[in-house]
Structures are given as structure tokens and as C-alpha cells.
Structure 1
Amino acid sequence: MSRAAREFRTWYVEEPEYFEGPPVLRIERDESGVSVVTPMLPRGQDVDTAAQLKSMLTRLVAKVEPKRLIAWYYTPMALRFTDDLNPHRCVYDNMDELSTFVGAPPGILEMERQLLSRCDVVYVGGHSLYQAKRNRHENVHVFPSSVDAAHFRQARTILEDPADQAAIPHPRLGFFGVIDERMNLELVRRIAALRPQWHLVMIGPTAKIDPASLPRADNIHWLGCKDYRELPHYLAGWDIGFMPFAINEATRFISPTKTPEFLAAGVPVVSTPIRDVEQPYGAQGLVEIADDANAVIARVEMILRRKRAPWIKRVDAFIEGMSWDETWAGMRRQLDAFIPDRKMPVRQMNAEARRV
């Protein structure tokens, strides 16, 4: 969306927050030019949340000419409160198979069916997801995760550790991202137990799982959330990037954005066999794939022994064309190329939104 903001007035609509007061939209323009819109709703009142959101967002876009409005969906559940909007273009930016996640809202598959029938173009975040959606819409395009290479490449030259990481011994295996049902916690526990001299540094929020279920050991360090700007400082001190994804329905279609981010940072990666990591990263020798604790240990030990220069040269050649600028340019071409050739129903949209 920061790329879109260079060309368009761009609103990114967050989920509502609740407070003591009347309903209001909090709008904060960030440094990239994106206006982050947060609906603030009264706490504890028995109200129709969807109706309130609909009213607030309708007023937000009321002064925008319909032919200039692009609605960009992340989730089909926004259809509940955007059926009064009728934009010139509708995009479904489908990054995950949300219906497979723990706690997926009832009706999400039906809402997605409705969205697919109304949108003009569908972008999917990986090849596995493309295979699942290619026959459900006539205009589906795959855009695998890009990378802000300059941002993460800072990790290659940063020498000083953040304060909460400085005392952790090496070798360090690091993970950053949401810690939820997609993480194989038993694998984390096993690695820590089998190699007590290795230290696992885990960064990110815990969601949809009980924090008490996280494995605890002297060599597992749960450091909590960090700002995006801080990540290169942590990655700079990691010997290995560790992606211990569980193999389950929630990970069946994922294409982890962190894969190219690790590589841009110059951090070698060991991952469980996620299909969109195996192809292309594993197949090209950029990421090591391991399906159990013993295999992870073998791959880590191999990485710690190998020469870095040949690997980093292949990495840099691979990620050279993976910028968000190129991704936005490709998405914009597909959006501009759309020519309506059929009568479409009144589309139900939300204000423009896209992944950060």
C-alpha cells in the first residue's frame, strides 16, 4: 500500500477498537503516505457493529467519485459492512486460506464465494494458493511475497545487538512472525532439548494459542513483539533463520514472506517442508528443508560448516527481482488491463487496503 500511496490517496482500514465515547473514525497518515483508518466504537453497548462500520465507511468515501474508487480486500468478511459501496475496481488480495485457520469466522467460505463473484481481479500470495483458486475466478494472478531488500540487508552490516538479545549465547536460531497454530511447538521443544548449547530466539505475538503452551527452557527466548524497523538489528545477530511451521491445514497454502526477508538479511534458513518454500527456495539450494528434529539438526550443522560466499551470491541473484516496487507495478498492470465484458452485480467493497 505504500507503493499505491505514491499514486493514489490510500486508506488502510483496520479492525475496530472499542473505547468510552461515540463512534468515530481515527485516521492517521503514516510516513509512507498511507492513511490508517481505525473505527472507534463504543465499548459495552448492544449495537449492530456491521451497521455502524457501514455507516462510517460510507461517509468516509462519500466525496470520492465512483470512477476513482478502488476497493482492495484482504478478507471477504468485510462484505458484511461494505455492501453500499460501488467502486470502479475491486481487488481480492488473497494471502492465505483464511477458512483453515483456528477461529475462522462462520460463513467465511460463503462470503468468499460472493466476493469472488463480484471482484474484477484476484491476486494470490503463492503458487499453492493459485492452484486452489485458479478455477474459481477468470482473472487470477500469482504474486509471491516480495521483499524490502534494502531494509533487511542492513542486517549484514549491523554489529551491535539489541539489549534483550545481547546476552544470548551463539549459535542462535531465530524466528520472527506470529506464533500461533501454524508453529510446530513440539519441534521447537525437541531442538532445544537435543542441542542445549544452541539458543532459539523467538520474536512475535502469540495468537489463538495459550501462551502457557509455549515450550520453556533455558535456551528458548521468547522476546515478544518488535517493530518492523527493529528486525534487521535482531537478524544481524542470528546464525540461522528457523521456520518451524507445522504441516497442517493452516499451512497448506502459505507462502511465508519471511523467507526472502531472511535471505536479504544474509541469514541462512532451515524450514519445515512448506510447499511454497520447497519450490523455489529449497529446489534452488537457497533454503534447507527438514521434516523432523534430527533433520533440522543435520541441516543446521551443515550450514554452520559451509562456506558462506557461494550461497550468498546465489541468494543475491535470486532476490534481485523481488522488490515491492516490481510487485506493485505488476499488480497495477493487471488492474489497468481489466476491461468489463459483462454486467456485474452491485459490488460490495471496503475502502482500499493491502498488506504492509
Structure 2
Amino acid sequence: MPTFIYPPSIPWNWMFQRPQQLLAQFSMSGNTVLYEDLGNFSQPRIRSLSPYLHLCQGISATNISHPRPRLLWLTVPSHINSISRYDPDLIIYDAVDEPKDEFASWAPYYPSIIQNADLIFCSSRSIYEYFISRHPRVYLVPNGVDYIHFSPQPSLRPIDLPQGKPIIGYSGAIAPWVDWELLKLVIKENPEFNFVFIGAFFQLHQFPLNNYKNVFYLGLKSYFDLPAYLHHFDVGLIPFLQTEMTKGCNPIKLFEYYASGIQVLATPLQELLAVPKINLESDPHRFSLRLRHLVAETDPSKAERMAYAQANDWTERSGRILQQILIRSNRNQESV
């Protein structure tokens, strides 16, 4: 079985997203995964999360004995310049965001990625359309969800959740691509709701909604604890600006909200237009009206939303990826 190496990109426990989800799935299929954790570690060590999944904390994965072929899994474009350090048998680029706006610094590395990557996987249609005309082996694999993790009803209510009003929630990065101006109007128009925000700061230094009595920023929650919060949301929000960057955004939170059974109100991002039973509004006043309607009316579509999430589990996503990797690895061995 091959070994996946992931260069230091994001801390393992910081907002458990696509890289951690897919690499964990690869390890559960019997592949060795060496995840070079990002952080300051007083002593270099290997932290084994399972027989096949190991966090390299302050130590290079290349210093650890592991089976080949060695697969270099990249999500940060600049790491394409580090491939010689890893001597990989296969280079895989997982394209998770558009190289625009907040990620514009990624664009200069794309020619090298196209030249050196053996396989490219894309999380959204617009990213796929960019690469498919420039590389011979490009595959669309959207984001997903760990359905078993998010779907069960938690037994306890988190103690820091506000009480007494319906909860309108947001889980994800506290970032510039959130439409904070839209949210300010919606919050002002709906004092009868509590608005709860969960997540880590990204390219922002302070929370933009500090001056509202019905807004609660609860910080970053562990992946283990997150379902307990989502299950107490009456509506989950995806209030993103519509920009060149978010055109390629396939929000993981959509699948996590759906697996938790909650209704979703979002701005009309390209990747959300075909999602069943989602509510989309771009105008702030209509967004606010739709929100009140969702809270007031009976929810008839919970089962359908949860079924959609279950069909988009990370196990399905990782299986598709591993199939293409196996095909490519076999062809490489035949050509030797």
C-alpha cells in the first residue's frame, strides 16, 4: 500500500476540513499517512492517531520508515517548489480554492503545478473547468461530510449556547469572504433571534459583529464537539460574498448542516444552485424575510436533506480519489 505525505499546511486540529478528512479516510483504507503537522513543538515526535495515520510534529516525514510508492498530497500551491525534498513517486494536487482575492498569491505557482502534478483533483466545478483544459488528468471531487459524526442527536446541550430565542448559526472561518454587511442588516431586523458564530479567524483581527446584543461569538470548537452545536441551530447560514474566489467555493458547512438535519439559508453561490432544499437569497431584506419564514414554518424536508448529506459522505469521495490514484500508479509501474 502507498504512503501519503502531506507537507505542513494547517494544524491537524484547526478547523477539521477537506485535507484532514480525506487523509483520514485514506488511512482507514490501509494507506499509510504521514501528516506533517503545523505548529511549534518543544520536542520532535510522532503522534500516531491510528496504525496508519501519523502526525509528524517537528519532524520530517522523510525521516520515518514507510512503504513506497510515496505520494505527495498538496493543497498549498507553493509546496510544489518543495517536491525535491520528498522524492515522491506521484505528485497529487488537490485544488480547494480559486487563486483569486484572498488566495491571489497562489496564482504564480499554477504553471508549475500543471507541469509537475501527476493528478489534479478539484473541489468545485469552476476550479475543474480551469484545469481540465490545461492538464490531462483532472477529476472533479466535491467536498463531503462524515455523516456518522454529524447526524446523531447529541445528548447534551453546550453550556455556552444562548437560550430563550431561536438560534441562527454560522460555523466556519471568520473571514473576509463572509458578507458582514448583509449580516448586520439581518441581525438588526431580527432582534427576536440569537445569532451564533463558531470558527477561527482567517485574515481578520477582530470579530466584525461585536456591537450587537443578540450576537454571540463562541470561538473555535473542536471537531468532536461541533455536532452538538449544529443540532441546536434552527437555521444554518452560508452568507458569503459573491466574488471570483467564492465562485469556486464548495462549502463543507453545507454538508455538515444537512447531516445535522437543520435548514440552510445562503447567498446564491454557484456551487449551491443545484443543491436540493436549500434556501438562497442575495438581497439583504429578502434574506431577512426568508429567515423569519424558515423559523416560523414547519420544516418538511429534514429527511431529504439528511439523505443528501449521507450520499455525499467522505467515504464516497475518498473512494473515487483512491481509484484514480491506483489506476495512475499501475500505469507508472508498467512504464518502468
Global fold match (TM > 0.5): yes
Q: How does 1:192-271 map to 2 (within 5 A)?
A: 192-211=187-206, 213-271=208-266
Does the C-alpha gap of structure 1 residues 57 and 2 become closer, same or farther in structure 2, counting only changes over 3 Å?
A: closer
Correspondence for 1:349: none
Displacement, 1:104? 5.1
Which of 11, 14, 17 in structure 1 is aligned with 2:37?
14
Correspondence for 2:113: 115
Matched, 1:273 2:239: no
Q: How does 1:66-215 map to 2 (within 5 A)?
A: 67-97=68-98, 99-102=99-102, 105=105, 108-154=106-152, 157-158=153-154, 160-165=156-161, 167-211=162-206, 213-215=208-210
Displacement, 1:4? 1.1
**SS class of match (1:92):** strand
Displacement, 1:242? 0.9
Correspondence for 1:289: 280
**SS class of match (1:249):** coil
**SS class of match (1:84):** helix
Moved over 6 A (4+): 341-344
Per-residue Cα deviation, 1:9-34 (whole angstroms, up to 9, x for no partner): 11112335376xxxx64321225842
| TM, length-normalised to structure 2 | 0.84
Contact 2:144 2:312 survives alignment (8 Å): yes
| TM, length-normalised to structure 1 | 0.80
Displacement, 1:173? 0.5
**SS class of match (2:115):** helix
Contact 1:242 1:271 survives alignment (8 Å): yes
Per-residue Cα deviation, 1:315-336 (whole angstroms, up to 9, x for no partner): 2332332121111111111111
Which of 39, 59, 66 in structure 1 is aligned with 2:63?
59
Between the aligned partners of 1:89 and 1:316, the Cα distance in structure 2 is 36
Deviates most, 195-204 or 74-83: 74-83
Which of 27, 35, 40 in structure 1 is aligned with 2:46?
27
Correspondence for 1:44: none
Q: What residue identity is the alignment partner of 1:326? A: E
Contact 1:2 1:32 survives alignment (8 Å): no
Between the aligned partners of 1:94 and 1:111, the Cα distance in structure 2 is 12
Per-residue Cα deviation, 1:186-229 (whole angstroms, up to 9, x for no partner): 11211111111111100011121130544420011111010011
Between the aligned partners of 1:318 and 1:331, the Cα distance in structure 2 is 20
Between the aligned partners of 2:134 and 2:164, the Cα distance in structure 1 is 50
Correspondence for 1:5: 27
Does the C-alpha gap of structure 1 residues 272 and 215 become closer, same or farther in structure 2, counting only changes over 3 Å?
A: farther
Instruction: Among all aligned residue pairs of Structure 1 and Structure 2, give the percentage whose two residues are the same amino acid.
Output: 21
Between the aligned partners of 1:205 and 1:83, the Cα distance in structure 2 is 33
Matched, 1:303 2:294: yes
Which structure: larger Rg? 1
Correspondence for 1:37: 56
**SS class of match (1:209):** coil
Greater RCO (CA < 8 Å, at least 6 residues apart) = 1
Unaligned stretches of 5+ in structure 2?
1-22
Between the aligned partners of 1:266 and 1:308, the Cα distance in structure 2 is 10
Q: What residue identity is the alignment partner of 1:229? A: F
Unaligned stretches of 5+ in structure 1?
41-55, 345-356
Report the number of matched residues: 311
Between the aligned partners of 2:270 and 2:44, the Cα distance in structure 1 is 40
Does the C-alpha gap of structure 1 residues 217 and 120 become closer, same or farther in structure 2, counting only changes over 3 Å?
A: same
**SS class of match (2:58):** strand
Between the aligned partners of 1:133 and 1:111, the Cα distance in structure 2 is 13
Displacement, 1:274? 0.9
